[in-house]
Amino acid sequence: MRVAVLASGNGTNFEVIAERYQQHALSGELALLFCNHPDAPVMQRAARFGIPAVSFTVKECGGKEAYEARLLQVLQDYQIDFIALAGYLRVVGPTILAAYPNRIVNLHPALLPAYPGLHSIERAFEAGDAQTGVTVHYIDAGLDSGPIIAQAPVPILPTDDLATLEARVHEKEHQLYPAVLKDVLTQLENEEEK
């Protein structure tokens, strides 16, 4: 199983996944990081781990369709079997979805179906909710609407401000995502061996 991580920003979840691969705690091989922002800090994280990284923008491809076609070519060039989204701030389009059915998972900082899309932690905090959390789910054509694999709640404390809540949500992400990836990848590997 050759795994690609798609990310857009800082890359803390990518780093946690890369560390698990270094410890041989996840099945397969972390073969590629793709980032749609060439200057994002996640690119430096990939370099530190010695993981191949590719980056280009929708704009430089001339539009979404050309971008997806180019991304699919990169995934095929690296012989990718499975995709983990880690802070990838784009909707995955039909070209990639069709090529990787039930082989793309996403990490979302809310208890879906609540707060799909951007600024989920902020929206839960501003709504005065008692809790928020983290969801790992398969990707489909909708916005954060694919089948849920696992969720973990994070209480919103009376003493929280947005920064402390975000820190606790990220901490929960760093626990839940590698554990779920381990289960999903092991299950896929077992199915392929049959």
Q: Which tokens is 123 given?
A: 């929206």
The answer, yes or no, to whether residue 193 has pLDDT greater than 90, is: no
Cα separation of 131 and 26, whole Å? Answer: 30
Query: In the chain, how many domains are there?
Result: 1
* pLDDT value of position 192: 83
Q: What is the pLDDT of residues 60-93, one digit of tens each?
A: 999 999 999 999 999 999 999 999 999 999 999 9
Q: What is the pLDDT of residues 53-67, one digit of tens each?
A: 999 999 999 999 999
CATH number, position 105:
3.40.50.170
* pLDDT value of position 194: 78
Q: Which tokens is 165 given?
A: 């809540």
DSSP 8-state code for residue 90: S
What is the set of active-site residues? 108
Q: Which tokens is 54 given?
A: 């590719």
* pLDDT value of position 75: 98
Find out whether 190 is annotated in a ligand binding site. no
Q: When comparing pLDDT for 185 and 191, which is higher?
A: 185
Find out whether 182 is annotated in a ligand binding site. no
Cα separation of 76 and 73, whole Å? Answer: 5
Q: What is the pLDDT of residues 107-143, one digit of tens each?
A: 999 999 999 999 999 999 999 999 999 999 999 999 9
CB burial string 78-116: b at 16+ within 10 A, e below: bebbbbbbbbbeeebbebbbebbeebbbbbbbbbbebbe
Find out whether 128 is annotated in a ligand binding site. no
The answer, yes or no, to whether residue 43 has pLDDT greater than 90, is: yes
Find out whether 102 is annotated in a ligand binding site. no
Domain that holds residue 58: 2-193
